[in-house]
Amino acid sequence: MKELQKKILEEGHALSESILKVDSFLNHKVDPSLMYSIGKSFAEHFKDMGITKIFTIESSGIAPAVMTALQMDLPMVILKKKESKILSEDVYQTTVHSFTKDSDYELTLSKKYICPEDNILIIDDFLANGEASKGTIRLVEQCGAKVTGIEIVIEKSFQPGRKLLDKQGYHVYSLARIKRLAKDTIEFMD
């Protein structure tokens, strides 16, 4: 998606070979027009695949996920990363390792928001090692539902996440695929 690539080049900051900071439009301050375009692209790609719900993990995936849900006229479910006093029973949980924070967290999904007949579309802001997607997949499969696709705003193609998900047979669609990062350098795949 050219609009997203342009925004990444203009406002993104490659801090190292593995860290891309995009907090000016995606995960701290949000560009609603860009999120609308992202949602439109995601909705178009998966429009005929029988999706019944859209899942995302709090918090950076919420903006693109809600725009996609709006355009597909589907419910969106936010998986929780933080402990909650009101989500203590009747939940699916799994442990996920965060590459960015280099720590583990407990990913939680209330059982009342998924059923075995669901076809789930996962939306996330970044794909690096695939841990967030794999954790979400584990929760969906605990219920017996199906992951129909995984949509990623920015993929770090030089990290193993995409290869792992492809190898497991998941349909991954990324809007911006980064081939290489270095301090102040961002290169996209063709």
The annotation status of 112 as a binding-site residue, yes or no, is no
The annotation status of 119 as a binding-site residue, yes or no, is no
The annotation status of 14 as a binding-site residue, yes or no, is no
The annotation status of 129 as a binding-site residue, yes or no, is yes
The annotation status of 27 as a binding-site residue, yes or no, is yes
* Rounded CA separation 73/81 (Å): 25
The annotation status of 131 as a binding-site residue, yes or no, is yes
**Residue owning tokens 């990913």:** 107
The annotation status of 176 as a binding-site residue, yes or no, is no
Backbone angles phi, psi at 45, to 5 degrees: -65, -35
The annotation status of 132 as a binding-site residue, yes or no, is yes
Q: Is 83 helix (H, G, I), strand (E, B) or coil?
A: coil
Nearest of 50, 81, 49, 54 to residue 65 by alpha carbon: 54
Rounded to the nearest 10 degrees, the angle between the axes of helix 32-45 and helix 2-11 is 150
Binding-site residues for 5-phospho-alpha-D-ribose 1-diphosphate, please?
Answer: 128-132
Binding-site residues for xanthine, please?
Answer: 20, 27, 156
Binding-site residues, please?
Answer: 20, 27, 128-132, 156
